[in-house]
Amino acid sequence: MITGIAHVAINVLDMDKMLGFYSEALGLKKAFELPHEDGTPWIVYLKVAPGEFIEFFYGGVKDRDINYSGDQIGAHHWCITCTNMNALRERLLARGYIKPDMKPVAKGDGWNWWIHDPEGNALEINQLEGTSAVSDSANGGRDEITGIEHVGHVVSDIEKTRAFYRDMLGLKELSTKDKDGKPWLTYMEVKPGQTMEFFWGGVKTRPNTWQSYGVTHLCLLSDDVAAEIESLRARGWPILIETKTGADKNTQGWVVDPDGNRIELMYIHPDSPQAKA
């Protein structure tokens, strides 16, 4: 059974700039690094919340344009929640990552904000505490981020997407929102408080190699990766990488969704660096 989002993985062009943004400005803590077998740098892990991370891979290749228009198939954005939107904004503003006119907007009982990181990846931030105003308290300046709320993809065929994520992986379809009188956005629950968003109408493709910069894969937690992989195989779904133990001691298996997005399924081993972070 799928139990949550473990991480969002991004290939980066300039690691120092990306860490400056996500770690120093947003306040995500560097958890650990994994090197290649030859000792060269490979992955940097930033902790978003217990059991939730961002993976930054060295060596991204700029072979595509990161385009977040509604017709561009693939990763669209990802969203984190926070307790203090104002503190995040002030740090980003002080370091020159945003302009003074870039401000969060009221949304329901909270606040919503869309920004881009130094390499153009879209990041949505929600403050979901039921507050009527952005707090002036800095909360120590480093503890505002509370978790990964959702990941958004633009899909070419919603029925194929449903067949994979809902019928095979077992995500719960919640609702579909209309726009201009047409179906636009379908929500599926990964676990309570954590969803995936699927935007209808993708028609344009782009390079999506293992080295292409930007989001390179999404990792979903599973309580039994081997059983999940075998269930997918039994239903005729192709397996990208068979179940194995990774360099981080965790069990993993890989597939691609109907649009070719890489999905890692992972069980966190108690002795893994993720479990100890």
Smallest CA-to-CA distance from 254 within 265, 268, 238 is with 265
- E strand or H helix at 230, and its extent? helix 225-234
**Per-residue pLDDT at 140 exceeds 60:** no
Dihedral pair phi/psi, residue 144, rounded to 5°? -85, -30
pLDDT score recorded for residue 13: 97
pLDDT score recorded for residue 108: 80
Q: How confident is the model at residue 277 (pLDDT cuts 50, 70, 90)?
A: very high
Rounded CA gap, 219 and 222, in Å?
A: 10
pLDDT score recorded for residue 166: 98
pLDDT digits (tens, 9 = 90+) for 31-90: 999 999 999 999 999 999 999 999 999 999 999 887 677 889 999 999 999 998 988 999
CA angle 267, 154, 203 (to 5 degrees): 135
pLDDT digits (tens, 9 = 90+) for 85-114: 988 999 999 999 999 999 999 888 789 999
Tokens of 157: 């065929």
Q: With 0.85 as the threshold, say if the pTM is over it.
A: yes
pLDDT digits (tens, 9 = 90+) for 6-38: 999 999 999 999 999 999 999 999 999 999 999
pLDDT score recorded for residue 141: 40
Rounded CA gap, 124 and 113, in Å?
A: 6
Percent share of the chain, pLDDT over 70: 94
Q: Where are the beta strands (DSSP E) in the chain?
A: 2-11, 29-35, 41-49, 52-57, 74-82, 105-107, 110-116, 122-127, 145-154, 172-179, 182-191, 194-199, 214-222, 241-245, 251-256, 262-267
**Per-residue pLDDT at 132 exceeds 50:** no
Calculate the alpha carbon distances from 145 to 22, 47, 82, 240, 268 in Å: 11, 10, 4, 33, 22
> Is the CB of residue 11 less than 8 Å from the CB of residue 111?
no
pLDDT digits (tens, 9 = 90+) for 176-233: 999 999 999 999 999 999 999 999 999 999 999 999 999 999 999 999 999 999 999 9
pLDDT score recorded for residue 129: 61
Could you identify the residue written with the tokens 């560097």?
30
In the Cβ-directed half-sphere of 266, how many Cα atoms lie within 13 Å? 27
pLDDT score recorded for residue 73: 95
